[in-house]
Structure 1
């Protein structure tokens, strides 16, 4: 039945089934350290946050969940990060040896591959990249925990594996109650995690294209990057730099965040916060103690998110870049917009605008709903809503205080934020058709 569904519905159904299965397992007594069943809403919240690779929590991951519960959370993160449709497509390939057209399109809905092509090869490369990045990151963390901090090897092994998978999948789940604040001055912990987060946030098409062009460059000596690759890398680098600079300037003398740190440590943690704001969710300083201006700039970074077809959320950096190009073209009075000497198709602009405006609407609606339920400052509630929509996981301290209805609102926001842009763009592309007539043109006053 799943193979005959509309691709957008298949993606939503697969994620929903996985979340329900995860919540069921987390609600079992064996999943909690105290041996008592976990509240169903809390289990559902945790499962949704894990599958949608968000990182917001209502119970402490390391203290509340048993080894079994933590294993379930980690499995949900890995499955959600890789993509239910990618796993379903790979399974179908292994069983049937080939895919039907609609299932192939379902895989494209999640992977954003540029053609039907060889799905088997694509998914194999995605799996290989995932294992390599997570494996290298885990090895560095394990050695650091074991050799420098004296952590027993079995604990260092679990901590390293858990945080590496959580980092590459941009989930932001940590086994520590203070996330990574205890390692704020340790670049051997924060930098590997930041690199894994950035790689996961770039998106699999970008990583695979970089690897392919590296091999092609060795053979021909030429580089031919696609527009998507240029947009993703350029916008990501720009946002990382601006986010680091703003955090550094705004929090330099804040005694509760960067103030007590040395200059090098301030730069390190400003960069780390900028990288985590791109939908990772780890924090090395207290987010709730940040200045209001920093919270607002972080909201902007969280809303934009990372690259398409990766583990990041948000409206995606390519959407942001396309909208920026359209604004620049309009200011210049140019009839069309383009980037890197490439003209952007009109339907691409419409899709980008649709995704961005729907994202704004979802965040505003959720913020209004949460403001009616909690007695908190507006900026804190807005921060939490944007964090949920962007599947970031950074929290200013509100999530743990939400009532059950507030938790359900955030659950819905995480789910829509993870799947909304993906299913929306794919649905728009599938519905694209030739229009055999045109209405009379008229120009209303704008601005």
Structure 2
């Protein structure tokens, strides 16, 4: 046994190192699935549940997947069902999941091989949109430092208010840290039994959460690029400009539309004062970025508001961010292509740069594949639950976009497994999943003659 142990470890390290070099996308998915399995195992223990019994496997798996994929959907009340130890496990899963699938795989590969190879550098470069390969190793450290720093700042803002809300110093600190990590990672988990309902009109609590969700949804490439050239916006990358402008535009559009639709709804915004309604509208406009928090009962919103939220959730946040969805740059590229086609321009351009045709092809592929996953999941959920389409579509998009907003739809066990798969696919990304399952890259030497079909 003494001789066999090190041999097994050595072979495992050799296997992981080989996988990191030859199939990094598969390794990333495998590591992410392993994290979910470990969190599920921990949440299945009696000490993770407040009542001291074992959580049902479906509930433990669902919560583990939702936390690791930073979704926020729950099948049991987080603040009352899980013990303090269970909440710590959930918090760690949120933090690990927020680092990203590719970054997580690269950290494992670096721990195994003690260095980052070219394949891994290219992989992390693709995830973080960092083009200078020599900086990828330091970039991973920067991502971790930036995450912890921003979360600490959010927690410092929240701590005094929670302390004033008749909480002990220990509870106030714990809730501040939990909300900070959950908001920056766009997770949407709440550690308290009362949630954010008591703070529906409290700018002190909700504004830091709004800022945390918005910054987290921009993505690390944008955060680092803007930080490097904070006083020189002209030097911001095209990706940063598209992400910021599209995100701000969607937040404003979403907040205005939701305000118009819910302003006089007595079950949501109707009982709030002017300041409270304004804050609730802004909060509801930001949360579909993938934040998943809510200060009012989403189930009592109008169906028209659900439809607006569906669209915002499906778009999601920025690439290589803690948010889900098809990403705002995907939407921006398609809108710019439509504008260019309407003008009769040959090239798709933005901010003095030409966007390559390959980017448009990827944007279309991501959108169509994502819509297909949501469609198939909605059909399965309709069959399993027998609930109306609007409620089923809402939770399907929320799961795929790792948003976490819910109308309160009751989920049988079969539906939980459908959403688990949907959350995993939504977080790992359709393109990553396709790369992981692909056996080889097909490159054609001979190209066929061109012929244009009739469109429209």
TM-score bucket of the superposed structures, by smaller chain? over 0.9
TM-score (normalizing by structure 2): 0.92
Structure 1: runs of 5 or more not aligned: none
- Which structure 2 residue ranges, 5 or more long, are not aligned? 1-14
Q: Paired residues, what number?
A: 439
Secondary structure in 2 aligned to 1:277?
helix
Q: Distance in 1 between matches of 2:387 and 2:193?
A: 22
Residue in structure 2 matched with residue 102 of structure 1 by the alignment: 119
The corresponding residue for 1:188 is 204
Q: Of the candidates 284, 289, 293, which is equivalent to residue 273 of structure 1?
A: 284
Matches within 5 A, 1:7-26: 7-26=24-43
1:40 maps to 57
- Partner residue of 1:404? 413
Q: How far apart, in 1, do the equivalents of 2:60 and 2:437 lie? A: 34
Q: Which residue of 2 aligns with 1:114?
A: 131
**1:224-243 matches, cutoff 5 A:** 224-243=235-254
Shift of 1:93: 4.4
Alpha-carbon distance in structure 1 between the residues aligned to 2:194 and 2:91: 19
Q: 1:429, CA displacement in angstroms?
A: 12
Q: How does 1:69-108 map to 2 (within 5 A)?
A: 69-90=86-107, 92-93=109-110, 97-108=114-125
Q: 2:294 aligns with which of 279, 283, 288?
A: 283
Does the alignment pair 1:159 with 2:170? no
User: Do the aligned partners of 1:11 and 1:106 also contact (CA within 8 Å) in 2?
Assistant: no
* Deviations 1:298-330 (CA, angstroms, capped at 9, x unpaired): 000000000111100000000010011111112
Question: Which of residues 362, 376, 386 is equivalent to 1:365?
Answer: 376
**What's the offset of the Cα at 1:378?**
1.2
In 2, the alpha carbon distance for the partners of 1:109 and 1:141 equals 35
Structure 2 vs 1, CA of residues 422 and 193 (structure 1 numbering), >3 Å: closer, same or farther? farther
Q: Measure, in 2, the Cα distance between the counterparts of 1:422 and 1:133.
A: 29
In the other structure, the counterpart of 1:3 is 17
TM-score by length of structure 1 reads 0.94
Q: SS where residue 343 of structure 1 aligns?
A: strand
CA–CA distance in structure 2, aligned partners of residues 222 and 295 of structure 1: 36
SS of match in other structure, 2:425? helix
Query: Do the aligned residues in 1 keep the contact of 2:72 with 2:188 (CA within 8 Å)?
Result: yes
2:195 alignment partner, SS class: coil
Query: 1: CA distance between counterparts of 2:229 and 2:439?
Result: 29
Q: Deviations over 1:62-100 (max 9, x none)?
A: 111111110100000000001254245346546755311
Contact in 1 for aligned 2:17/2:109 (Cα 8 Å): no
Instruction: Indicate the RMSD between aligned Cα atoms, in angstroms.
Output: 2.0
Query: Could you report, residue by residue, the CA deviation over 1:261-289 in whole angstroms, capped at 9, with x for unpaired residues?
Result: 11121111111011111101100111111
Following superposition, the deviation at residue 190 of structure 1 comes to 0.5
Whether the aligned pair in 2 keeps the contact of 1:10 and 1:106 (CA below 8 Å) is no
1:232–1:307 contact (8 Å) kept in structure 2? yes
Instruction: Answer yes or no: is the 8 Å Cα contact 2:50–2:80 preserved in 1.
Output: yes
Q: Which residue, out of 136, 151, 162, partners 1:134? A: 151
1:117 match: secondary structure: helix
Displacement, 1:185? 0.9
